[in-house]
Amino acid sequence: MLESTQTIKEQFSLLLDKAASTAELESLKVEFLGKKGKIAALMNELKALPADRKREAGQVINQTKQLIEQRLHEKTEELAMREEQRLIEAAESYDESLPTELSLGSYHPITLIQREVEQIFASMGFYVEDYDEVVDDYHCFEALNIPKHHPARDMQDTYYLDNGQLLKTHTSAAQNYIMRKYGAPVRAIFPGRCFRNESTDACHENTFFQLEGIMIDRNISISNLIYFMKTMLSEVFRQDITVRLRPGFFPFVEPGFELDIRCTICGGAGCPSCKNSGWLELCPCGMIHPNVLTAGGIDPEEYTGFAFGLGLTRLAMMKYGIKDIRVLNSGNLRALSQFIDA
């Protein structure tokens, strides 16, 4: 029995010296101190010994067991300290100024162009506002001088929801809200996503962005409107571009205009991006109709104003030379991440 305990101690010492992890210590514990371990086996042998030798042998086995427990405990503490030391050293040697392997993301061209136009108008004293994408009939049509059954409703193919609300077809839906919020005088822009149930091609999407603007004050005239449109476009393009203004009909402005840009993709020769016309409708605008001012709680006898509805998605196409509008909603990162420094 004494010899057996000596052998067990030697085996244990050898294995303990090699153990380098808490998992290895745990399996040593099972091997030597577990229910079916070496110490338990010796205890079983004890039963067969004559009574006069049992006491002494029992003491030797217990001492061996205690020694193993003690050394396992010490080694566990030692490993824990070593691990702590390793973590401290790793933290001290971590150099946060070293370049990482991560590749940087990029902004979507719509985000880039939206921010740019927002900055231009903010520097001219315009508030930048946000508005819902799900709106009601009143804000999208009625408050804009488009009563129910008015033929102008057919100009935009609307997505209606089961609850009677609809997806905003144009950012003009926020005009009434802005007028009621600020009263007059006011100058504000409000970008937003618009939805129309129409078939897509190189210059039409069913989900696209507009950026609406209104300016209302005493004595606002068409020349103010033209000044702000010119300033915005020359700052966005920072190069000569050709625009044309022609009469346009929208029930919420009088007079109304279509502001077109000569296609920057083909230079005016005609291509799919401009439906072969050489021109792209970019920013309809006009003087706000008196009925719309009245609906917004503003006295049309005292105040006048202009409004415009910039096609932000088309502006991005023209600025960045994107030939097909559908790329912008495609999620194609290779195509969309080129504009990081634009």
Nearest residue to 177 (alpha-carbon basis) of 202, 137, 143, 205: 143
Our finding on whether 77 is near ligand FA5 (CB under 6 A) is no
- Contact call for residue 307 and ligand FA5 (CB under 6 A): yes
Among 38, 75, 187, 196, binds ligand FA5 (CB under 6 A): 196
User: CB under 6 A: which stretch of 96-104, 232-240, 291-299, 309-317 binds ligand FA5?
Assistant: 309-317
Angle at 282 between CA 277 and CA 284, to 5 degrees: 115
Using CB under 6 A, which of the segments 54-62, 64-72, 197-205, 331-339 binds ligand FA5? Answer: 197-205
- The binder of ligand FA5 chosen from 140, 313, 316, 328 (CB under 6 A): 313
Among positions 210, 264, 273, 304, the unique one binding ligand FA5 when judged by CB under 6 A: 210
Q: Where are the beta strands (DSSP E) in 6-163?
A: 127-128, 134-135
Q: Applying CB under 6 A, which of residues 139, 187, 314, 319 lies at the interface with ligand FA5?
A: 314
In 18-167, where do the E strands start and end?
127-128, 134-135, 166-167
Asked if residues 72 and 26 have their Cβ atoms less than 8 Å apart, the reply is no
d(CA 251, CA 269): 32
Tell me how far apart the alpha carbons of residues 64 and 330 are, in angstroms, rounded to a whole number: 73
Query: Hey, which residues between 284 and 303 contact ligand FA5 (CB under 6 A)?
Result: 284-286
How many residues interact with ligand FA5 (rule CB under 6 A)? 24
Q: Which is nearer to ligand FA5, 250 or 339 (CB)?
A: 250
249 is written with which tokens?
């009909």
Residue 192 C-beta: closest distance to ligand FA5, Å: 11
In sequence order, the β-bridge partners of residue 214 are 188, 307
Residue 257 DSSP SS3: strand
Between CA 258 and CA 267 the distance in angstroms is 19
**Which residue lies nearer to ligand FA5 by CB, 304 or 313?**
313
Rule CB under 6 A: choose which of 121, 208, 303, 339 binds ligand FA5: 208
Closest CA to 125 of 231, 258, 1: 231
Pairwise CA distance, residues 310 & 285, whole Å: 8
Site string for ligand FA5, 226-265 (x = CB under 6 A): ------------------------x--x--x---------
Q: By CB under 6 A, which span of 45-53, 66-74, 270-278, 307-315 interacts with ligand FA5?
A: 307-315
Query: Cis before residue 109, ω within 30 degrees of 0?
Result: no
Among 12, 141, 308, 339, binds ligand FA5 (CB under 6 A): 308
Q: Is 316 in the site for ligand FA5 (CB under 6 A)?
A: no
CA separation for the pair 321, 120 (Å, rounded) = 21
- Residues in touch with ligand FA5 (CB under 6 A): 170, 172, 196, 198, 204-205, 208, 210, 212, 250, 253, 256, 281-282, 284-286, 307-309, 311, 313-314, 325
